[in-house]
């Protein structure tokens, strides 16, 4: 019996040792599995997530800080529609920007699909006369209003309907010497008809090569002009900026992505002229 008991004790001890070893092996396996399999795989993911969240956290305050200095800009493109207009619309889309297009009625008749695209892609179509011919536009206030009626017909044909608020820009601007004799009467009649007229207070000088005294290449001169004129508003965050471009100028199309990127970084929001404070 004692031998048997001893054998039984021996077996029990062996079983116990085996159990302990098995337990130890299980724990060791789990630890190894976690440290070799789990941790290294998880660590980079966590690091990546941490880096992302750190960089998001670093960017967030800048983005969040922007509303405090948010400013309004009304981008305007004159003299189209033209072959560059679809590309301008693409670039605006890429940056979530919108613009007002002061179109010439005769070009709306020539490129009705581009005019329709301006509207269908969330931009505002506006009136920049029918002929853009100074001698015709400013022959009299009646002549100007007649150009406006012709523009309306062209825009309606191309787009199906007219914008609720019709913005008008004088060819050459309201202070052009060509309009001097009739501009006051034209302004009064525009407003009396429920429309509104707009000049601009900044631009990239894409139609004003006289200012390019250093004979810079177009893109450089336009970009320099952009930086100069936008800089005028650095200390005037409440002044709405109405920025003049011409979609007919290829140099403007080329600098547009850089301009939009810079405006966004400066905290500008892109608005359409039908929401300009001038409407009251």
Nearest to residue 148, comparing CAs of 168, 162, 176? Answer: 168
**Binding segment toward Zn ion, per CB under 5 A, in 37-45, 78-86, 116-124, 134-142:** 78-86
- Member of 76, 78, 141, 271 binding Zn ion (CB under 5 A): 78
Closest separation in Å from C-beta 78 to Zn ion: 4
Nearest to residue 155, comparing CAs of 192, 130, 134? Answer: 130
Please report whether residue 117 would count as binding Zn ion according to CB under 5 A.
no
CA atoms in the 13 A half-sphere facing the CB of 217: 6
What is d(CA 73, CA 65) in angstroms, rounded to the nearest whole number? Answer: 18
The three-state secondary structure class of 125 is: strand
Please report whether residue 247 would count as binding Zn ion according to CB under 5 A.
no
Please say which residue, 170 or 233, places its beta carbon nearer to Zn ion: 170
**Binding segment toward Zn ion, per CB under 5 A, in 42-50, 70-78, 189-197, 219-227:** 70-78
- Member of 79, 206, 218, 247 binding Zn ion (CB under 5 A): 79
CA atoms in the 13 A half-sphere facing the CB of 141: 11
Phi, psi of 201 (to 5 degrees): -125, 10
Give me 81's structure tokens.
Answer: 């529609």
Please say which residue, 137 or 233, places its beta carbon nearer to Zn ion: 137
**Binding segment toward Zn ion, per CB under 5 A, in 25-33, 138-146, 166-174, 233-241:** 166-174
Please say which residue, 79 or 247, places its beta carbon nearer to Zn ion: 79
Binding map of Zn ion across residues 120-159, x = CB under 5 A, - = no contact: ----------------------------------------
Within 10 angstroms of residue 144's Cβ, the number of other Cβ atoms is: 25
Please say which residue, 95 or 200, places its beta carbon nearer to Zn ion: 200
Nearest to residue 133, comparing CAs of 74, 176, 71? Answer: 176
**Binding segment toward Zn ion, per CB under 5 A, in 1-9, 171-179, 226-234, 250-258:** 171-179
What is d(CA 255, CA 258) in angstroms, rounded to the nearest whole number? Answer: 6
Q: What is the binding site for Zn ion (CB under 5 A)? A: 78-79, 171
């Amino acid at each position: 019996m004692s031998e048997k008991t001893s054998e039984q004790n021996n077996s029990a001890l062996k079983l116990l040792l085996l159990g302990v070893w098995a337990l130890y092996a299980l724990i060791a396996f789990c630890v190894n599995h976690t440290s070799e399999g789990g941790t290294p795989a998880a660590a980079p993911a966590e690091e990546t997530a941490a880096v992302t969240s750190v960089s998001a956290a670093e960017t967030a305050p800048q983005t969040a800080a922007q509303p405090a200095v948010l400013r309004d800009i009304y981008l305007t493109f004159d003299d189209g529609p033209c072959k560059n207009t679809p590309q301008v619309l693409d670039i605006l889309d890429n940056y979530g920007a919108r613009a007002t297009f002061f179109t010439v009625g005769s070009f709306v008749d020539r490129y009705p699909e581009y005019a329709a695209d301006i509207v269908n892609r969330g931009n505002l179509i506006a009136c920049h006369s029918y002929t853009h011919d100074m001698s015709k536009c400013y022959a009299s206030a009646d002549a100007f209003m007649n150009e406006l009626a012709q523009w309306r017909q062209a825009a309606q044909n191309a787009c199906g309907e007219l914008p609720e608020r019709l913005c008008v820009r004088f060819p050459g601007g309201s202070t052009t010497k060509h309009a001097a004799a009739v501009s006051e009467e034209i302004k009064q009649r525009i407003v009396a008809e429920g429309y509104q007229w707009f000049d601009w207070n900044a631009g990239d000088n894409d139609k004003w090569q006289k200012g390019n005294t250093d004979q810079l290449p177009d893109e450089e001169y336009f970009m320099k002009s952009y930086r100069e004129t936008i800089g005028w508003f650095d200390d005037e965050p409440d002044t709405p900026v109405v920025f003049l471009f011409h979609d007919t100028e290829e140099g403007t199309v080329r600098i547009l992505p850089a301009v939009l990127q810079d405006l966004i970084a400066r905290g500008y929001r892109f608005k359409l002229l039908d929401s300009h404070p001038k409407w009251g």
